[in-house]
Structure 1
Amino acid sequence: MNEAAVGAAIKKCGVPREELFITTKLWVQDADYESAKKAIQTSLDKLGLDYLDLYLIHQPMGDYIGAYRAMEEAYKEGKLRAIGVCNFYPARLADFCETVEVTPAVDQVELHPFFAQENALALMKEYGVVPEAWGPFAEGNHGIFTHPVLTKIGEKYGKSAAQVALRWNVQRGVVVIPKSVHKNRMEQNMDIWDFELGQEDMAEIAKLDLGHSEIVNHDDPGFVKMLHSMKIHQ
């Protein structure tokens, strides 16, 4: 939805293209072969780019197999450097990986201390899929930014609870994409590479896992209907 604005920013910033990593997604509305082919080109045109570094299916909805075939073709043509999926939970991901030709490079799912998804991570590792966390701060639920367990661990390293939460995911092999509009918080989110959580720290954080989503239930029919009703173009 913000591709035109991002494209303008890319053009204006003056940073060499090879130093940027640009990701965008295929919306539910375009989840079929022909629509996906058009959507990929539309994204390239709006962004003013010859290729995308990563292109993801937003949800396992609609004809996502057909859509992925279009993505595989664009991948082979060099328009997409990597292709992947979002919100594909274990059974769906296993079926998908057994069906497609090009194994998805990434599966972007909800991953944070309150929803650790260890089984999902194990399956991704089995198929060589990189886990990427959306909502690594659980959208602020459970007081994550001041949570006593995370705060206490952070005090040992001179880090915040948020930095501990990010580092925990990183040490599990997860790519994190925290959202922030504040420069100082962006800098803090990047400042997680000068310390390493110990095994006891990791074990304490593991105890916070509630075993279910804290943000959205992808098995809720109402949620599925709502996403299908959201149109981003005519």
Structure 2
Amino acid sequence: MKSVAIGRGVQMPLVGFGLWRINNDSCADAVYNAIKSGYRLFDGACDYGNEAGAGEGVARAIKDGLVKREDLFIVSKLWNTFHEAPRVGEIIKKQLADWQVEYFDLYLMHFPIALEYVSPAVRYPPGWYHEGTNVRAGKASIQETWQAMESLVDQKLVKEIGVSNFSGSLLMDLLRYARIPPASLQIEHHPYLTQDELVQFAQKNGIVVTAFSSFGGLVYPKTEKIDSKSALSLLEHPTIASISKKVGQTPSQVLLRWATQRGISVIPKSTNVERMSLNLTSTAFDLEESDMKSISDLDIGLRFNDPMQFLGEFPIYY
């Protein structure tokens, strides 16, 4: 399995398994089956509401002798309501307990947004809403949160730390004061949203980029903004279909390889065992440079995962 070195030399698989939008009740089986299929990287978050299920899958796989803990690369994320320094340590202990592990290989700041604290005893998973109504901004700075995350490395609760959904300017600012530089940047990335400048800046600074939503907007609801762009499914796009036929690989494999060939790791999700295997083997071939360019030329700056559509007071992508 191909991997990439992140942070201080930790090896991270190029292709992992994303856990977003998998129900907690079915997550244990999904993780267990993914491990049987060969996956070693699992990308989760407390806001996904399925970390307990994921932990059950991992524990079962270890018990059955499929893997050892050190064979796995487990990623989780800090939610916005836990950005205050004392809350960072509080929530990661719950997350580790849910996963039934002693450390995370990579821990990300999920969004560069601090929201008002809500106790896990009141609502969990936390979500975007405060007491079921409106979002309330918190007061923690990104610097306060990052320094608390650095202490998690010192305590050996995580091996590496990183960020998600950061713009280039926020990343640049973070690099100015980080004692432990971010090892990874996770962003929405697909041919409709290549984010070339951000990717290049991160990679130039030794930050490995991970793509989510590699297949575009399959799991996102249609909105007026998206409809106006006439966003044909990438899996059905003529350009992707033509290259797929040319190289003898599925459209999903072509889309994943386009990313990994650019040095970007991917975390596709599928609960279908056959598609799991197809996604995992997507690094077994190479695309010609002309095909890479044809895919990149599909960029129209279309963002599907856009909190600004319901959080107008938080313009995080500008």
TM-score by structure 2 length?
0.67
How many Å separate the matches in 1 of 2:280 and 2:60?
24
- Verify: 1:223 aligned to 2:311, yes or no: yes
CA distance in 1, matches of 2:277, 2:269: 12
1:102 aligns with 2:180: yes
Q: CA deviation at 1:211?
A: 2.2
- How far is the alpha carbon of 1:125 from its aligned partner? 1.4
More helix by percentage: 1
Flag structure 2 segments of 5+ consecutive residues without an equivalent. Answer: 1-48, 115-139, 219-230
- How many angstroms does 1:57 deviate by? 0.7
How far off its partner does 1:184 sit? 1.2
In structure 2, the residue corresponding to 1:121 is in which secondary structure? helix
In structure 1, the residue matched to 2:286 is 196
Amino acid at match of 1:124: A
CA distance in 2, matches of 1:224, 1:23: 29
1:225 & 1:5 partners in 2: Cα distance?
A: 34
Q: Do structure 1's residue 43 and structure 2's residue 95 form an aligned pair?
A: yes
Which of 10, 13, 17 is equivalent to 2:58? 10
1:186 aligns with 2:276: yes
Alignment CA distance shift 1:105-1:224 (3 Å): farther
C-alpha separation in 2, matches of 1:224 and 1:81: 35
The answer to whether the 8 A contact 1:32-1:65 is kept is no
Q: Does 1:144 align with 2:234?
A: yes
Q: Tell me if the contact between 2:82 and 2:91 (Cα under 8 Å) persists in the aligned partners.
A: yes
> Residue 224 of structure 1: CA displacement?
6.1
Unaligned runs of 5+ in 1: 227-234
Equivalent pairs, count: 224
CA contact (8 A) 1:34 1:67 kept: no
Q: What is the one-letter code of the residue matched to 1:223?
A: L
CA apart distance, 1:193: 2.4
- The DSSP-based 3-state class of the residue aligned with 1:46 is helix
Q: Find the aligned partners of 1:78 and 1:59 in 2 and give their Cα distance.
A: 23
Cα displacement string for residues 88-147 of structure 1 (whole angstroms, at most 9, x for unaligned residues): 011111111112211111110000011001001111012211100011111335221121
Picking from 67, 74, 98, the partner of 2:145 is 67
- Determine if the alignment matches structure 1 residue 78 to structure 2 residue 156: yes
User: How far did 1:13 drift?
Assistant: 1.4
Which residue does the alignment assign to 1:121? 199
Aligned to 1:231: none
CA distance in 2, matches of 1:37, 1:52: 13
Aligned match of 1:164: 254
Amino acid at match of 2:183: A
Q: Secondary structure of 2:112's match?
A: coil
Q: Which structure ranks higher in relative contact order (CA pairs < 8 Å, sequence separation ≥ 6)?
A: 2
CA contact (8 A) 2:55 2:98 kept: yes
> How far off its partner does 1:65 sit?
2.3
Question: d(CA) in 2 for partners of 1:139 and 1:18?
Answer: 34
Read off the aligned partner of 1:76 and give its amino acid letter: D
Q: Indicate the larger mover: 51-60 or 14-23.
A: 14-23
TM-score by length of 1: 0.90
Is the deviation greater in 130-139 or in 140-149?
140-149
* Cα RMSD (Å): 1.6
User: In structure 2, what is the Cα distance between the partners aligned to 1:36 and 1:49?
Assistant: 17
| SS at 2:233 equivalent | helix
User: How many percent identity over aligned positions?
Assistant: 32
Provide the rounded CA distance (Å) in 2 between the counterparts of 1:116 and 1:124: 13
